[in-house]
Amino acid sequence: MVITIDGPAGAGKSTMARGLAERLGFEFLDTGAMYRAVAWSCLSQGVDLKDADAVGNTAASVTLEMTPNAVICNGSDVTLQIRTGEVSEASSLVAAVPAVRQELVRLQREVASGRNIVTEGRDQGSVVFPDAECKIFLTADPRRRAERRLKELEQRGEAATLDDVLRQIVDRDERDQQREVAPLVKADDAVEVDTSSQTAAQVLDQVERIARLAIG
């Protein structure tokens, strides 16, 4: 069984997908981390991010291992490296390349096949798993999302200002929503949850109720 959680950056998808998977005894797949790993791979190999063919070739040749607590890319543990601001920006660019999406969608379906899994991303309910039994779309207003992202960055010791993070979030939303292939959209049959004024614990309870109703 597949449960999808989609939504914009900073809406709380990873926290909720992880928490929900734990409560249900399901596995968990962070598909944003896969786009980040391809972006990291491009940056570390000096691939021009504007060269779609080169970026597509990088995605096709990358070896990715998605374990519960680590992302292994070409044999290196890149779990922390893929969370920098530079990789965030680059991941939004590589995610707009059709060949990259094709490759990662194939991998995502392969990983999920025959498993009970919560997958999170932008296109999981709309494109990758259109027949998923339960689809959730998380949103929150941009300022709230920027505040959360800033807190994460601060915890990792990265310097940033709220204005900068807000601008990056708005830019990234726009790119993710406007791109031609698999733009960020809510699937018609997804349940929308606005997390702006709820605590993480409240959102997780709500998401669990939605999932348990769907599981039946």
What b/e sequence results for 180-216 when a residue is b if at least 16 CB atoms lie within 10 Å of its CB, and e otherwise?
eebebbbbeebbebebeeeeeeebbebbeebbeeeee
Q: Does 125 participate in binding ligand DC (rule CB under 6 A)?
A: no
Which H or E element spans position 68?
A: none
Q: Does 92 participate in binding ligand DC (rule CB under 6 A)?
A: yes
Closest approach of ligand DC to the CB of residue 216, in Å:
26
Closer residue to ligand DC (CB): 18 or 122: 122
Closest approach of ligand DC to the CB of residue 119, in Å:
8
Closer residue to ligand DC (CB): 103 or 123: 123
Rounded CA-CA distance 77/88 in Å is 17
Q: Does 132 participate in binding ligand DC (rule CB under 6 A)?
A: no
Q: Does 121 participate in binding ligand DC (rule CB under 6 A)?
A: yes
Q: Does 137 participate in binding ligand DC (rule CB under 6 A)?
A: no
Helix (H, G, I), strand (E, B) or coil at 195: coil
Q: Does 103 participate in binding ligand DC (rule CB under 6 A)?
A: no
Closer residue to ligand DC (CB): 40 or 212: 40
Q: Does 91 participate in binding ligand DC (rule CB under 6 A)?
A: yes
Q: Taking a C-beta distance cutoff of 8 angstroms, is the pair 148, 155 a contact?
A: no
Among residues 73, 140, 134, 75, the alpha carbon closest in space to that of 107 is found at 73
Kindly write out the interface string for residues 141-180 of this chain, putting x where it contacts ligand DC by CB under 6 A and - elsewhere.
-------------------------------x---x----
* Amino acid (1-letter code) at residue 137: F
**According to CB under 6 A, which one of 11, 17, 18, 36 is a site residue for ligand DC?**
36
Q: Taking a C-beta distance cutoff of 8 angstroms, is the pair 49, 93 a contact?
A: yes
Q: Does 58 participate in binding ligand DC (rule CB under 6 A)?
A: no
Helix (H, G, I), strand (E, B) or coil at 29: strand
Rounded CA-CA distance 89/158 in Å is 15
* Residue entry with tokens 């406007």: 178
**According to CB under 6 A, which one of 4, 18, 24, 35 is a site residue for ligand DC?**
35
**According to CB under 6 A, which one of 2, 9, 16, 42 is a site residue for ligand DC?**
9
Q: List residues near ligand DC by CB under 6 A.
A: 9, 31-33, 35-36, 91-92, 95, 121-124, 172, 176
